[in-house]
Structure 1
Amino acid sequence: MGPPPALRPPLPGSVSCDVAIVGAGFTGLWTAYYLSSLDPSLRVVVLESAYAGFGASGRNGGWCSALLPSSLPSLAQRHGRAAAISFQRSMNETVDEVGRVCLAEGISCDFHKGGTVSVARSPAQLSRAASTVSSYASFGFDEVALLSSAAASARLGATSVLGGVFTPHCAAIQPASLVRGLASVVAARGVALYEGTPVTSLRPGAAVTPFGTVRAPVVVRATEGYTAELPGHRRAVAPIYSLMVATAPLPASAWEEIGLADRETFTDFRHLIIYGQRTADGRLAFGGRGAPYHFGSSISPSFDQSPGVFAALRQTLGSLFPVLGPLPEISHAWGGPLGVTRDWTASVGLDRATGLAWAGGYVGDGVGTSNLAGRTLADLILEMPSELVSLPWVGHRSRPWEPEPLRWLGINAALRATASADATEARTGRASRRADLIHRLVGG
């Protein structure tokens, strides 16, 4: 994590435009990018409370993946098999679209499409790996491959690898470089990007700030994990914290044991998610869930630091990669909130009656998904017929989270139960029924 960039000027006063976008993360900036591409005459204003990429867009794990929060069987059950397949294909293509834009616009963000290796390190995890591949194959995605122990270990030299899964549909990136590069591109195109400008309320036709009101026939909410800070949206999206650590650049001898020769992103099949990548400068960046949800959907810079979670991440790294030692040396540690809807389903939409548009609820898979959201929002706003506006997440409305204290009790109980399920599986080698119940409750 480098120093924050110098702030662009704040909103100078009340203005009118064609499209007002609240939030200068990936969702807001991709939307501005494609709107300016499709209609350069549009007056687009982007409002950001801090600086472009301050939130999850600038401090995530660097996976530009085709992952969706909802599984293909779940999508097929709700929307039909053809819609589920179309959605997944669109996400697969999105990874390449991000790479295309980076090349075309000269955005240097260490983009490299090496795929993802997901290892199985217990019999229960191996069973889930086989089920994952079988599920993808049943929808025609045969490129998602089941790996033997030897093949998985050749990609990721972790301990106790029994097998794994490889998908080519993921690129490793440096997220802060991507979001800041994208901000510079849209600003150069004439998009008005105002930083240090918090939005205090949204209503049809207007985004209100302390410096003035931006009026527009279309107002886009692109606030993801920070949505709960907007009046009237406290229960729309729960901010769940994910934390990360990074090593100093590792020597070649260490990488010979760890692998990731093609800069594959990596994870395993435990329930409480972990994720990592080999950075372009030779660091091991590694993150995971486990930090508590804070009462009332509270967000604070102090929540970005959790010594207990950082210690657990170091221990997990040491157990995965003994070459690093039992407690690997860490050069950086950080975190932040991501957005989770009640049904764990991302959505994008435009209410034409009010002019209010939105996108989000990516559940931690927003680097790629936000690009698809930006393209879809641009087509919706400009009323352009496309396959994107017919995808099953368009217009979806998640039900609100429960009021407090039920929200705090439920989310933290689920986090503890998920961690307990992993501990039980590690001890017994058998799949956890508790985890299956949690999975069904969140609609995966």
Structure 2
Amino acid sequence: MGCALNPAGSPTEDYRALSLWHATAGEDWTPRAPLAGDLDVDVAVVGAGLTGLWTAHYLAEADPALRIAVLEAEVAGYGASGRNGGWCSALFPASSETLAALPRADGHPHGRAGALAQHAAMRGSVAEVARAAAAEGIDAQLARGGTIDLARSPAQLVRARAEVAHARAWGRGEDDLRLLDRAGAEEHVRAEGTLGATYTPDCAALHPARLVRGLARAVERRGVRVLEQTPVTAVTPGRCETPRGVVRAGVVVRATEGWTAHLPGHERDVVPVYSLVIATEPLPEEVWAEIGLARRETFTDHRHLIVYGQRTADGRLVFGGRGAPYHLGSAIRPDHDRDPRVHARLLATLREMFPVLARGRGVRVTHAWGGALGIPRDWCASVGLDRDTGLAWAGGYVGDGVATTNLAGRTLRDLVLGRDTDLTALPWVGHRSPRWEPEPLRWLGINAGLRATTAADVEERWTGRPSLLARAVAPLLG
């Protein structure tokens, strides 16, 4: 990864080399001015990703008199917010059962109504991202084509049917999630070996770096200070410490997601696990005629080791997935962004799904990248504000963060302003996940789970039946 000098003379990365999205965001990525000495504000937000910027956006919109500063170690959109797979979906990482069991303030569980309210809020967040981006003039190349989740083996078809049955048991109708036969699935995408699929309309494909960079400019227009090249080394009540000065604030919002473990006192709150992505060259129309995705549907299949893809506005296939190891001590380093073995497996999977990409000279991959996402111990994202300390937080999205960050930002607005709303009553508000195990148990457990997930897919290919291994490790993997 290249290195350049910013105007102040300090070294900065060539941010355009981070991903396809960074390279095509239409930005020169020159860092904004850093903090220049001590600062007093009403709200300090640590992290200029989508969580931090949505929070600043909705707070500044609701109360223009608030003094708000967003502190960022690199540049806005440096992390997962700028380099994810470009899915803005209604997916939430915790199950309906988990959400229903979470306690309310009075100690009673949120129950069925709370779980359904959380799901409805997530569906609404997909629409709100599109609305807010349009209102702020952000061209995020958004297309709301929904998600097609393919079943490409008998075992995957069993899971697809079970997913729809589960949705019906929770009162979710066909307008939310429906089962498709092979012909119905191929109206969306034509992948090798398709037996059926599930389909939901609640997802938009977008350009994440365009969204997050546009949002940074939008909050600045509302008077928010975005201070880049300003790493926060410690967060305590009313105080953010940085090498460039101390920021004092009535409320401090921790919006650090995968980087949370690098803050003192938070080493075991969230683990950074890498997801890797590839992007092809723009494909000719005759290839797209064979693949489909005419409405830019996002796509995946019902395997255990997650994969995800989308058709970009300029006709590329972006395809990513898990498979990279967790690094001891929650390490995050630039050299972890690229793993040739994992990237090669992603390309092989893409060609296996769409054989047209392997014909002739095959498809050319122009970009390969990765990044860390944040996983809490119980796989349940959360948002909250401790009124006694003024410390607020949001995160633990497990890779389902593009829409969830928007819900977090609106919820933090209401919490900071002391409003009791439908959003502040949702089950995830105030939830505290248990801490991860100390090292090396954390490293051993996470990587064993990764290997078990990979092995479960192999087992199903050999047996043609749902994996017994996957069933055994499911309680450990959220």
Smaller-chain TM-score range?
A: over 0.9
Paired residues of 1:227 and 1:236 also in contact (CA < 8 A): yes
Paired residues of 2:254 and 2:394 also in contact (CA < 8 A): yes
**What amino acid sits opposite 1:288 in the alignment?**
G
Partner Cα separation in structure 2 for residue 278 and residue 403 of structure 1 = 40
**What amino acid sits opposite 1:157 in the alignment?**
R
Structure 1, residues 57-100: CA drift from partner, whole Å, max 9, x if none?
A: 00000000000101223323443100000000000000000000
Alignment of 1:285-296 (within 5 A): 285-296=318-329
Cα RMSD (Å) of the superposition?
1.0
Shift of 1:203: 0.3
Long gaps (5+) in structure 2: 1-19, 103-109
TM-score, normalised by the number of residues in structure 1: 0.98
Alignment of 1:396-435 (within 5 A): 396-435=431-470
Tell me if 1:21 matches 2:45.
yes
Partner Cα separation in structure 2 for residue 346 and residue 84 of structure 1 = 13
Partner Cα separation in structure 2 for residue 100 and residue 438 of structure 1 = 40
**What amino acid sits opposite 1:25 in the alignment?**
G
Structure 1, residues 93-145: CA drift from partner, whole Å, max 9, x if none?
A: 00000000011111001011110000000111001001111111222221201
Identical-residue share of aligned pairs (%) = 59
Partner Cα separation in structure 2 for residue 184 and residue 112 of structure 1 = 22
How many pairs are equivalent? Answer: 443
Partner Cα separation in structure 2 for residue 284 and residue 395 of structure 1 = 38
**What amino acid sits opposite 2:85 in the alignment?**
G
The corresponding residue for 2:425 is 390
The corresponding residue for 1:153 is 186
Runs of 4+ off more than 3 Å = none
Partner Cα separation in structure 2 for residue 196 and residue 161 of structure 1 = 47
Structure 1, residues 4-32: CA drift from partner, whole Å, max 9, x if none?
A: 61100000110100000000000000000
Paired residues of 1:91 and 1:368 also in contact (CA < 8 A): yes
Paired residues of 1:417 and 1:435 also in contact (CA < 8 A): yes
Tell me if 1:11 matches 2:35.
yes
The corresponding residue for 1:370 is 405
The corresponding residue for 2:72 is 48
Task: From 176, 186, 190, give the equivalent of 2:223.
Answer: 190
Task: From 175, 192, 201, give the equivalent of 2:234.
Answer: 201
Partner Cα separation in structure 1 for residue 142 and residue 423 of structure 2 = 24
The corresponding residue for 2:12 is none
SS of 2:246's partner is strand
The corresponding residue for 1:126 is 157
The corresponding residue for 1:243 is 276
Tell me if 1:252 matches 2:285.
yes
Paired residues of 2:100 and 2:427 also in contact (CA < 8 A): no
Paired residues of 1:314 and 1:328 also in contact (CA < 8 A): no
Partner Cα separation in structure 2 for residue 135 and residue 430 of structure 1 = 20
The corresponding residue for 2:89 is 65
**What amino acid sits opposite 1:119 in the alignment?**
L
Structure 1, residues 292-344: CA drift from partner, whole Å, max 9, x if none?
A: 00000011000001000000000000100000007632011000000000000
Partner Cα separation in structure 1 for residue 169 and residue 131 of structure 2 = 30
Partner Cα separation in structure 1 for residue 95 and residue 158 of structure 2 = 17
**What amino acid sits opposite 1:303 in the alignment?**
H
Partner Cα separation in structure 2 for residue 313 and residue 342 of structure 1 = 27
Paired residues of 1:244 and 1:310 also in contact (CA < 8 A): yes
Paired residues of 2:70 and 2:227 also in contact (CA < 8 A): yes
Paired residues of 1:317 and 1:328 also in contact (CA < 8 A): no
Tell me if 1:210 matches 2:243.
yes
Alignment of 1:84-233 (within 5 A): 84-142=115-173, 143=175, 144-233=177-266
